[in-house]
């Protein structure tokens, strides 16, 4: 009996913590403040984790840029404070944009110097290449005249739908092709 009365007294004295779920009870002001701070700290921790990931990505980018900086040519300062690049360090590869090989410049100069701007078949272009020391098959000449960089850049003009080509005014002006000797003739038979 004594124990039974003790249980009743305990139920009366501690109604909120004995056998009840205290999560569903109304919060007092202190509990609300604690919950608000926990939510704020959780939000800050999530933002911090996101920022740490962003910082890691930016550090990788920074390291890549620093590595790229070590690969650039050495720049030296001359006596007047102007920077110049050491020519031995710079390695050039390929041609500049908008240029063609010296071989094709010479062939165009040969054609322009002998027949000016008259449209000619690929056989004549191949013969002109042979005359100045370049071995060029008619098929190679035809392919270059139709689809090569010279045609793409507007250095070669095609005569309508025919298989005849001439040097464009653009190429004549850009490469100063009128300087070729006009006394030589180009044969159209393909023999060199």
Q: 19 and 78 share a domain? A: yes
Q: What is the pLDDT of residue 179?
A: 45
Residue 174: CATH number of its domain? 1.10.10.10
Q: Residue 44: inside a domain, yes or no? A: yes
Domain boundary among 63, 93, 123: 93
pLDDT of 53 reads: 95
Does the residue 188 lie in any domain? no
Please check the confidence at residue 32 and state whether its pLDDT lies above 70.
yes
What is the domain extent for residue 40?
11-93
pLDDT, tens only, 63-91: 999 998 888 876 666 555 555 555 554 55
Cβ–Cβ < 8 Å for 176, 123: no
Both 17 and 84 in one domain: the answer is: yes
* Domain count along the chain: 2
How much is the pTM? Answer: 0.44
């Amino acid at each position: 009996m004594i124990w039974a009365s003790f249980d009743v007294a305990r139920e009366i004295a501690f109604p909120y913590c004995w056998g009840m779920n205290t999560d569903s009870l109304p919060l007092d002001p202190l509990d609300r403040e604690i919950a608000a701070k926990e939510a704020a700290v959780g939000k800050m921790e999530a933002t911090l984790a996101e920022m740490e990931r962003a910082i890691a990505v930016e550090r990788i980018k920074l390291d890549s840029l620093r590595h790229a900086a070590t690969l650039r040519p050495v720049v030296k300062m001359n006596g007047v404070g102007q920077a110049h690049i050491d020519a031995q360090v710079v390695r050039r590869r390929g041609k500049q944009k908008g240029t063609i090989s010296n071989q094709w410049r010479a062939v165009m100069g040969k054609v322009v110097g002998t027949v000016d701007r008259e449209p000619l078949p690929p056989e004549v272009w191949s013969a002109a290449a042979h005359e100045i020391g370049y071995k060029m098959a008619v098929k190679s000449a035809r392919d270059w005249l139709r689809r090569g960089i010279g045609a793409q850049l507007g250095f070669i003009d095609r005569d309508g739908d025919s298989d005849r080509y001439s040097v464009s005014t653009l190429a004549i002006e850009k490469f100063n092709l009128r300087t070729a000797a006009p006394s030589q003739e180009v044969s159209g038979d393909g023999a060199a």
